[in-house]
Structure 1
Amino acid sequence: MRIYERYFARQIYLTFVFILFAFSGLFFFFDLINELNSVGHGNYKFTYAVLRVALQTPSRFYEIIPVAALISSIYVFAQMAANSEYTIFRVSGLATNQALRSLLKIGIPLVIVTYLIGEVVGPYTDQLSERVRLEALGSSVSSNFESGVWVKDTLTARADGEQVTRFVNVGKLQPDATISDVRIYEFDAKFRLSNVRIAKSGKYQPPGHWLLTDVTDTQLIDVPPPTGSGAKPADALNPVYRAEQVTLPEYSLRSELTPQILSVLLVSPERMSMFNLFRYIQHLTENHQDSQRYEIALWRKLLYPFAVFVMLVLSLPFAYLHTRAGVVGVKVFGGIMLGMSFQLFNTLFSHIGTLNTWPAPLTAATPGLIYLVLGLVGLKWVDRH
């Protein structure tokens, strides 16, 4: 890096760290106040609330980094403009496109840090946070349905290669990834109900098996139609199945479902890693289920770190605004509003894209592209004036 680039980087990074921790402290305070509603229930004490909110801090970092990069760079450039430092850089031969390239170079470490937090640290600490809360409350997780979560599971499970389709109902998912109140409805290739299994609990045994306990297995067997010259025609009201029921203390079930797939109950799609999102989208696609929401979340995770570059482009025009155009505090406040508007628009556009079934890459990329164009237009305008 050149001397002026090192100077820019040092100023921006120091301000960035200060703003990142200042905003994180503010969010920590609000999250802790929100968590106080659960304190006193079960074994959930104040220390658990503090631990849970602290474990959510990496995800807060992930959300705040682009806005912190915008505010820090605006503050640095506004200070330089107020002290005529940036004017001296321009007189010394620093062109606008050269300054933009240098600024993007400074943003590369921030993008890498954002990816690491969003893919490695954040999803892990979010799951730990949920488990701390659930274990202290002595509760479990379920979906919005009263019966729990329903998952489709398709696999080739029989010796003859016939495809089996299961609809699995998990009543509760415990924090340690064990399941309870399990119902499994199994259908053959012609979508005829062939088996019903009810289990009290289950635990995953890699690779690809669930060990179910206290199992009631009901096998539905076709009743062959009567044959012979004197046979009566089959009556549609007569039973076409006979049931054979057995009770087993344990049963090993082969399945494509994994605790990672079921863990979507613990963590929202926006806070899952791209690897887990991709696996779950693959599972939904194989079972012919709607994956629009998760595809948008995947593309947002892929593109969101590059919002740091967009924010840095938006900040550069503030270096060209003279002191008489506004004091430093006003410029920083404008940067905060600009960053907040980007976050709100990004979230709103994702919901609109989900409702209108727009392509996931377009839905995820459009807000960033719009703000990038605004930044380039603003930079061109201040450069000309």
Structure 2
Amino acid sequence: MRFTPRIHDVYIGRAVIGTVLLTWAVLLGLDVVNAFSSEAKDIGQGSYSFGHAIAYVAYTVPRRAYTLFPTAAVIGALMGLGQLAATSELTALRALGLSRRRLSFSVAAAMALLTGLMVISGETLGPWAQGQADVLKSSARYESNMSMARYSGLWAREGNTFLNAQSGEEKLLDGGGTALELHDVRLYQIGEDGRLQTLTHAAVAEHRDSGWTLRQVQEDHFAERSVTREKKADMPWQSALDPAALAAGLAKPRNLSAHDLHTSIEYRRRNGLDARDYEDQYWSRWFYPLNVLALCLAAIPFAFGSLRSGGMGKRLFLGILFALGFWLLQLFFGRMAGALKFDYRIAYALPPIVMMAVSGWLFRRRSS
């Protein structure tokens, strides 16, 4: 079988890409409207205004597009092929000697092109724009004598004290509520003359209802001609820094690029921290292209049978059914990997394998 692109590949690819982009635009539009309605309730907190809400949602569009693309791909592919099947164009192409596998390759090639562009966006534009959105929202909602940025971990300022934390996370407490933990924390206290007075390094800075606590502390005091060092297991930290603002400024694993996720995984392993949330997101990025192609190829057999006599509603229903079924299957295996602590690569490889097996079985059944 020859896989050299021909005119029928362009024709099928154009039909499928057109319906995918249309479906994608509709889903993304609905998601953006829903996101803005959620942001509207935060307007008025601090200096967070209507313009800030619009800018925040606009910055998150690349990430939302990346997340919604697999769903849009399978629904759009089914709708595009359904239109070709309903007008007997697929039958005509089959009569010209094109096999179902050859037609499936045409769809896969078109989807691979869009998927490649989406992967590039998800690793470059998406994380950068999401970072800008988080900084914008945090600085506007929690306005005070604190400024935030993310150049190397998390930075925050309170008066003459500057905080830098390499990573952090929110944890659920057994008795209810949440605690914020910042890891590898450095506190720089600057004097009125602009010179560094105290450098405090803590392995963990933890915030609970009782306030901040620093753990495994090393404190250096800088005098004009000398430096003194103290080491403490724990010490309280009197600070008015808002833990909600710091938590909002932390980069969530799902918003990081694959390179940043790998760096975070290595850092957490070196320091004996739980890295499974980062591993989950890291391997999901690697299997993202495979998942999209598996979803679309598994749905193609329906174009050669049931979609010929079905209307738009039937195609839409099948597309949603496939997307939802795949998402539930992936969620199940992901949760099992987290609970049973087996390799996430296995968890993310099983759903596309199952979908491809279903697709192969349907192809053989409809060919018999």
Letter of the 1:329 partner, please give it. Answer: G
Match of 2:183 in 1: 151
1:332 matched residue in structure 2: 316
Q: Which has the larger radius of gyration?
A: 1
Q: What secondary structure sits across from 1:65 in the alignment?
A: helix
Task: After TM superposition, give the deviation of residue 279 of structure 1 in Å.
Answer: 0.4
Change in Cα spacing, 1:314 to 1:197, as seen in structure 2 (3 Å) is farther
Which residue of the other structure, out of 238, 252, 255, is the alignment partner of 1:271?
255
The number of equivalent residue pairs is: 302
Amino acid at match of 2:181: V
**Partners in 2 of 1:359 and 1:72 — Cα distance?**
32
For residues 260-306 of structure 1, what are the alpha-carbon distances to aligned partners after superposition, in whole Å with 9 as ceiling and x for unaligned? Answer: xx999633212211100100111111123222221121111111122
Contact 2:170 2:247 (8 Å CA) reproduced: no
Cα separation, 2, equivalents of 1:198 and 1:40? 41
- 333 and 218 in structure 1: CA distance in 2 versus 1, 3 angstrom threshold: same
Select which of 331, 335, 341 maps to 1:351: 335
Alignment correspondent of 1:286: 270
**Quick check: 1:115–1:305 contact (8 Å CA) kept in 2?**
yes
Q: Which residue does 1:30 correspond to in 2? A: 34
Q: Is the 8 A contact 2:66 2:121 kept in 1?
A: yes
Contact 1:296 1:350 in 2 (8 A): yes
Q: 1:295 to 1:321 in 2, by over 3 A?
A: same
After TM superposition, give the deviation of residue 26 of structure 1 in Å. Answer: 0.3
Q: Secondary structure at the match of 2:272?
A: coil
Report the Cα distance in structure 2 between the residues aligned to 1:97 and 1:89, rounded to whole angstroms: 12
Change over 3 Å in CA distance of 1:152–1:362 after alignment to 2: farther
1:378 is the counterpart of 2:355 = no
**CA distance in 2: counterparts of 1:114 and 1:305, whole angstroms:** 9
Q: How does the TM-score come out when normalised to structure 2?
A: 0.73
Identity percentage over the alignment? 22
Q: Cα–Cα, structure 1 residues 268 and 369, in superposed 2: closer, same or farther, change >3 Å? A: farther
Uncovered stretches (5+) of structure 1, i.e. residues with no partner:
154-164, 172-180, 187-194, 200-215, 222-240, 242-261
Measured in 2, the distance between the counterparts of 1:380 and 1:360 equals: 31
- Structure 2: segments with no counterpart, 5+ residues: 149-153, 155-167, 172-177, 186-200, 234-245
Q: Is the 8 A contact 1:123 1:272 kept in 2?
A: yes
Quick one: which amino acid aligns to residue 167 of structure 1? A
Please state how far the C-alpha of 1:346 moved relative to its aligned partner.
2.1
Q: Distance in 2 between matches of 1:11 and 1:307?
A: 21
> How far off its partner does 1:217 sit?
6.5
Alpha-carbon distance change, 371 to 198 in structure 1, aligned in 2, over 3 angstroms: farther
Query: In the alignment, is the contact (CA less than 8 A) between 2:85 and 2:307 conserved in 1?
Result: yes
Using the alignment, how far apart are the partners of 2:58 and 2:280 within structure 1?
28
The answer to whether structure 1 residue 169 and structure 2 residue 205 are counterparts is yes
> 3-state SS of the aligned residue for 1:369?
helix
- The aligned residue for residue 243 of structure 2 is none
State the TM-score, normalizing by the size of structure 1.
Answer: 0.70
- From 284, 292, 304, the equivalent of 2:288 is 304
* Root-mean-square deviation over aligned CA pairs: 3.1
- Report SS of the residue matched to 2:44: coil
Q: Say if 1:296 and 1:363, in contact at 8 Å, map to a contact too.
A: no
SS in structure 1 opposite 2:170? coil
